[in-house]
Structure 1
Amino acid sequence: MNEYAVTRYRYLNKNAIKGETLFVGSSLMEHFPIDEILMSRRITRVIYNRGISGYTIPELLESMDEQIFNLEPSVIFINIGTNDISHREETAEVFEEDYRKVLTQIKERLPKTKVFMMAYYPVNQKVADTITAWPEAPLAAKLRAERLDKANGIVEKLSKEFGYRYINVNEGLFGEDGQLLEKYTTDGIHMWPCAYELIFDNMKKYIFE
Structure 2
Amino acid sequence: MDDNQKMKIQNFKYLNENALKGKILFTGSSLMEMFPVCEIARSRGIEQVIYNRGVGGLNTDQFLENIDILLLDLEPSKVFINIGTNDITEERYGSQWMFHLMNNFCKIIEITKSKFPDTEIYIMAFYPANLHLPWQTEESIKWMELRTPENLTTCNMLLKDIAKKYECNYIDCNASLIDENGEQKEEYAIDGVHMYANGYLKVFEALKSYL
Question: TM > 0.5 between the two?
Answer: yes
In 1, Cα distance between equivalents of 2:89 and 2:124: 17
Q: 5 Å matches for 1:112-191?
A: 112-127=118-133, 130-132=135-137, 136-145=139-148, 146-191=150-195
Whether 1:59 and 2:62 are equivalent positions in the alignment is yes
- TM-aligned CA deviation for residue 40 of structure 1: 2.2
Q: Which moved more, 1:186-195 or 1:84-93?
A: 84-93
Q: SS in structure 1 opposite 2:25?
A: strand
Contact 1:84–1:90 (8 Å) recurs in 2: no
- Listed one character per residue, the Cα deviations across residues 147-171 of structure 1 (whole Å, up to 9, x for unaligned) are 2122112211111111101110112
Are the structure 2 counterparts of residues 90 and 70 from structure 1 closer, same or farther at C-alpha, using a change threshold of 3 Å? Answer: farther
> For structure 1, which segment, 164-173 or 66-75, has the greater mean C-alpha deviation from structure 2 after superposition?
164-173
Separation of aligned partners in 2, 1:188 and 1:78: 21
Cα deviations by residue, 1:33-75 (Å, 9 ceiling, x for unpaired)? 0122123223212110001100100000000111001100000
Q: What SS class does the counterpart of residue 32 from structure 2 fall into?
A: helix
1: CA distance, partners of 2:8 / 2:23: 21
Q: Does 1:11 align with 2:17?
A: no
CA distance in 2, matches of 1:11, 1:90: 38
Contact 1:17 1:71 in 2 (8 A): yes
Is residue 101 of structure 2 the alignment partner of residue 95 of structure 1?
yes
Taking only aligned residues, the RMSD between alpha carbons, in angstroms, comes to: 1.5
In structure 1, how many angstroms separate the alpha carbons of the residues matched to 2:22 and 2:196?
29
The whole-number CA distance in structure 1 between the counterparts of 2:60 and 2:12 is 18
Supply the distance in 2 between the matched residues of 1:82 and 1:166 (Cα, whole angstroms). 16
> Aligned residues: percent identity?
39
Decide which moves more: 113-122 or 30-39. 30-39
**Residue-by-residue CA offset, 1:102-161 (whole Å, 9 max, x unaligned):** 11101111111000101110011122x7244xx753123220114212211221111111
Whole-Å separation in 2 of the counterparts to 1:64 and 1:152: 22
Once residues 78 and 126 of structure 2 are traced to their aligned partners in structure 1, the CA distance between those partners, rounded to angstroms, is 19
Residue 36 (structure 1) aligned with residue 39 (structure 2): yes
Deviations 1:187-208 (CA, angstroms, capped at 9, x unpaired): 111000111111000001212x
TM-score, structure 1 as length reference: 0.92
Indicate conservation of the 8 Å contact 1:124/1:189, yes or no: yes
Work out the CA distance in 2 between the residues paired with 1:175 and 1:195: 13
